Amino acid sequence: MSRARYEHFSHGADIGLRGIGVSPAEAFEQAALALTAAITDPQDVALQESTEIRCAAPDLELLLVDFLNAVIYEMSAHGMLFSRYRVEIDGDRLHAVAQGERVDVAKHAPIVEVKGATFTCLQVAQQPEGSWLAQCVVDV
């Protein structure tokens, strides 16, 4: 089984996020790291503050969009960046703890502001080799 990882893929003017993990929860964590990595290097984001995120949705794909949008909200409304995510999924509910710090323009040189997660290229699925993939495009 592959190790947890994230990557970006191209979509027109915007950015595709892809998280891969042993479970949907781990794939969600990696997708959220891909979100941070679209803005700055997650290694530069210190673990100083924690934020709790809770959401619920009728299916796993909508849950991914809701989770990423909740992270985007925390970043936008509170000026945060996160570099560690712990996600638990129980049926249609998600509970997450995101850890990070406030944006420091000099330190993080953030590239772009993410406006929202979209339904484009949205997929949460188990791969033939067993790992889980969670992906969608975010509007920047």
- State the residues that interact with other proteins by CB under 8 A: 8, 10-15, 39, 58, 62, 65-66, 69, 72-73, 76-77, 79, 103-105, 108-113, 115-120, 122, 137, 139-140
State the alpha helices, DSSP H only, in 5-125.
Answer: 24-39, 60-78, 105-108
| CB-nearer residue toward other proteins: 4 or 104 | 104
Sequence-distant (6+) residues with CB within 8 A of 2 are 20, 129, 131
Minimum Å gap between C-beta 11 and other proteins is 7
Minimum Å gap between C-beta 31 and other proteins is 16
Minimum Å gap between C-beta 7 and other proteins is 10
Q: What is the DSSP letter of 74?
A: H
| CB-nearer residue toward other proteins: 76 or 126 | 76
Tell me if 121 sits within 8 A of 135, measured CB to CB: yes
Tell me if 16 sits within 8 A of 139, measured CB to CB: no
3-state secondary structure of 80: strand
What are the backbone dihedrals phi and psi of residue 64, each rounded to the nearest 5 degrees, phi first?
-65, -45
Minimum Å gap between C-beta 125 and other proteins is 16
| CB-nearer residue toward other proteins: 116 or 126 | 116
| CB-nearer residue toward other proteins: 26 or 114 | 114
